Structure 1
Amino acid sequence: MTALAVTRATVLRALRDRTALFFMVLLPAAIIVVIGVTVSGVDKFRIGVVPAAQAGLAASELTAGLQDAPGLRTRTYATETDASTALRRAELDAVVLVPSGLDEAVRAGRSVAVRVLVEPSGSAGHAAVSSVSAIVADHAARLQAALFAARETAGDFDESLALARGAERAASPIAVRTETVNGQSDYLPLGYSYSTPTMLVLFVFINALAGGAAIVQTRRTGVYARALAAPVSARALVFGETIAYLLLALLQSLLIVGIGALAFGVDWGDPLAAGVLIAVWALVGTGTGVLAGALFRTPEQVNAIGPALGIGLGMLGGCMWPLALVPDWLSTAGHATPHAWAVDAWTTLLSRDGDLPAILRHLIVLTVFATALLTLASFALRRRLTTGRAT
């Protein structure tokens, strides 16, 4: 009962701390939004579209096709000058100029060229031309079918184009299906599915580490010394604080999971595997926080060193960028931190449709980290409390 009383007091104190609640709830949510929006669509080409000055049906449909293409992020410009300026500023990968005489040329059976502007040194621009060319070719095939139908039936071109468009939507005779054979992604999915798991790993660790300041403050104010003067054992105090920090880590994890799933539609993969991973990572954070509370001498030391240490380990462990992008030696160094193993486990769950057996190796490594940290934390805090050096 004494250990549970310590747990209850610690949890209530943390929940009443507005600063702690800010770092536990609001800051992770804000960073999830920022990073999620930033990395969303990085796999799409940025295309500027200048519509035809006198746009008929064919020109309008080409413009709409470019704007609706799933592989492009398009922005419409009124003039070629504005679009070219944006291209020179590297705001765009390419600019598509829809010709004004497109409808007249098509009705007359003449060929017309669609100009695409790219920067000479922009590799993304030249790759974007392929995507634009595919969309233009698809539109040209539709126009050719409509022109043929109009000539054969002596009908109206606009009506024939509408029929060709309707037939294409009803049933496409040929479709392309892409399959990756034995493929495994080394990256988390882009968007919020990238930022939310990495922020869970980062902030659970940082908040647990920074929370060690509360243990230091409790030591300095003599609360532990007074508790030990009563019939309360040091083991009960250590156990109560450990359970409290574990509950806080789990609470923050559930909040981030809930925010990601409800607000941003993040799919956390296999529920059992995700739950076990979250629990093991909470144990890692708990061990870190209690150990910090036992080793540091002042709360100011924890507040100054803790966040910097947490961010540094998070960067090294792949919370800011995929370790698949860094040199091998840096990736190896990153896996000396528990963060890298946690991020790898989330990558397996979210990018490879993994389950509990698929992340078993990661869980074993994280369990070793958690066991080592919890053992050291328990020993260090008990030593602080029983050797007369509680402050």
Structure 2
Amino acid sequence: MNRIRAALAIAAVELRRFLRDRSNIFFVFIFPLALVMVLGLQFGGQGPAGRVAVAGEENTLRASIAAQLEGDDVAVAYTDLDGMREQVARGRTDVGLVISSDQAAAFDEGQDVQVQMIPSSQAAAQTTVQLVRSAVREATTYQGQVAALSGRGASQAQIETALARAAEEVSPPTLQVRGGEVDELAQEFAGLGQFDLGASSQLLLFVFLSSLAGSVTLIQARRRGIIARSVAAPVSIGQVLVGQGLGRLAIALFQGLYIMLATAVLFDVNWGTPALTVLVLLIFSTVSAGAAMLLGSLIDNEGAASGLGVGAGLVLAALGGGMMPLEIFPDTLRTVAHVTPHAWAYDALADIQRRDAGLVDILGPLAVLVGMALALVLVGTWALRRSLARAM
């Protein structure tokens, strides 16, 4: 029991030393949340279902089509013919729509209507074309219904009441577009909150970075004789090694749990099943702790360790899905990405957040992470033992 208390005391000291570093106030507490917010605001919003630029004078046909499009969450902009063509050419809109005065007059008279569409080369253009066709069809159908009822002698008030009642009683069919890379990506990220994806990626990025940054305190403890004085006390070298390893683990876990709790409270991030998410965090933190022990044992200069830790952490995070979703990686690069622990942790968190996965569903990624953790902790402990032997 005394041995365990000694190791835990060393770990607590390491965590306090890390948190007392004033530079960590920004990088541990503020910077991760700021990045989650920026990523969520820029890329995590649901956004419009499409963009349409409409050329033509204001009339009932334009207003009716625009109302249908906006009801389908399509962003509608009004411009002249040249402006519409420029937007299509520059990819600033998905579809250009031309509504002539002749077609508007035909619409008012209850006749067939034809509008000109100019799709852009954007990936979402074909989906937006279908939405425009549906909007035009619904607008002309409604106008035809009004003309038919009016021909039967119904008043405007009766027409509006009858069509409103029909709309309430009849459920319109739903359309799901399947197939194609864009639609597959949309389905992959369907159901994610605005900040969910950014929060999980920043969790992996900063847990690994903070743990590697914690290697600096290990170097300082060795160079300043703190570890030597610990061994001089009734503390064995094994307790020192365990305590230092637990200290690196405590730093990583503190950073991860802080990000999880803060994003859940501030941004309403859904982390899925909390117990499973914490389990992934624990194993990934152990991987990070082993890497920090190895880095702090092989390098004797704090500046060099800090620079190498930040550089290695950023590169591994970029490759492993900590900066961009793995789903948009090419197949070959996605395979290469799984040499990093970040990619396996990303897969496990994605299953928990998006697919309500259970423990059995994520056993594969967890097994790989456990293997990486064991390898890095064993090598890091061996390297730390050698460095302590030289220091004493």
Specify the TM-score bucket, using the shorter chain as the normaliser. Answer: 0.7 to 0.9
Q: Deviations over 1:214-255 (max 9, x none)?
A: 211222222222332333322222222322322222222222
2:35 to 28, 31, 39: 31
Cα separation, 2, equivalents of 1:299 and 1:313: 21
Structure 1 range deviating more: 146-155 or 279-288: 146-155
Once the two structures are TM-superposed, the CA of residue 204 in structure 1 deviates from its matched residue by 0.8
1:267 CA drift (Å): 2.1
Q: For residues 122-142 of structure 1, give each alpha carbon's deviation from its aligned partner in whole angstroms, at most 9, with x where no partner exists.
A: 454344211221222223222
Distance, in Å, in 2 between the alignment partners of 1:80 and 1:265 is 44
User: Contact 2:68–2:138 (CA<8 Å) still a contact in 1?
Assistant: no
Aligned to 2:173: 175
| Equivalent residue number for residue 383 of structure 1 | 386
Residue matched to 1:152: 152
Q: Deviations over 1:168-214 (max 9, x none)?
A: 1x13245237598xx99894556422222122112211221122112
Taking structure 1 as reference, are residues 205 and 124 closer, same or farther at Cα in structure 2, changes over 3 Å only?
A: same
Instruction: Measure, in 2, the Cα distance between the counterparts of 1:360 and 1:147.
Output: 63
* Structure-2 change in CA distance of 1:54 and 1:174 (3 Å): closer
| DSSP-derived class of the 1:388 partner | helix
Q: State the partner residue of 1:60.
A: 63
Contact 1:187/1:347, CA 8 A, preserved across alignment:
no
Distance 2:363 2:199 in 1: 22
Counterpart of 2:110 in structure 1 is 109
Rounded Cα–Cα distance in structure 1 between residues aligned with 2:350 and 2:8: 36
> In structure 2, do the counterparts of structure 1 residues 258 and 105 end up closer, same or farther at CA, with 3 Å as the change threshold?
farther
In structure 2, relative to structure 1, the CA distance for the partners of 1:263 and 1:141 (3 Å cut) is farther
Contact 1:216 1:294 in 2 (8 A): yes
Structure 2: gaps spanning 5 or more residues: none
Q: Secondary structure at the match of 2:390?
A: coil
Query: C-alpha distance in 1, partners of 2:76/2:97?
Result: 10
Aligned residues: 382
Equivalent residue number for residue 125 of structure 1: 125
1:259/1:122 Cα in 2 relative to 1: closer, same or farther (>3 Å)? same
3-state SS of the aligned residue for 1:153? Answer: coil
Q: What is the match of residue 309 of structure 1?
A: 312
CA RMSD of superposed structures (Å)? 3.1
> How far apart in 2 are the matches of 1:126 and 1:62?
18
Q: CA deviation at 1:358?
A: 0.3
Structure 1, residues 29-62: CA drift from partner, whole Å, max 9, x if none? 2222232233335885541444864444x64343
Aligned-pair distance for 1:328?
4.0
Distance 1:195 1:361 in 2: 24
TM-score by length of 2: 0.85
1:236 and 2:239 equivalent? yes
Q: Please tell me the residue identity of whatever aligns with 1:11.
A: L
Cα gap change, 1:62/1:308 in structure 2, threshold over 3 Å: closer, same or farther? same
In the other structure, the counterpart of 1:253 is 256
- 5+ long unaligned stretches in structure 1: none
Whole-angstrom distance in 2 between the partners of 1:326 and 1:6: 42
Distance in 2 (CA, whole Å) between partners of 1:24 and 1:99 is 59
Partner of 1:116, secondary structure, is strand
Matched letter for residue 292 of structure 2: G
User: d(CA) in 2 for partners of 1:160 and 1:341?
Assistant: 60
Contact 1:50 1:78 (C-alpha < 8 Å) held by counterparts = yes
- Alignment match, 1:271: 274
Three-state SS of the structure 2 residue aligned to 1:176 is coil
**Aligned residue for 1:17?**
21
Identical-pair percentage: 29
Provide closer, same or farther for how the CA distance between residues 37 and 297 of structure 1 changes in structure 2, counting only shifts above 3 A: same
Distance (whole Å) between structure 1 residues aligned to residue 197 and residue 142 of structure 2: 38
Deviations 1:277-308 (A, max 9, x none): 12211211222222221122211112211121
Taking structure 1 as reference, are residues 361 and 18 closer, same or farther at Cα in structure 2, changes over 3 Å only?
A: same
The code of the aligned residue for 1:96 comes to L
Residue 327 of structure 1 deviates from its aligned partner by 4.3
Partners of 1:184 and 1:352 within 8 A in 2: no
SS of structure 2 residue aligned to 1:227: helix
Equivalent residue letter for 1:160: I
Shift of the alpha carbon at 1:341?
0.9
Cα distance between partner residues in 1 of 2:237 and 2:204: 31
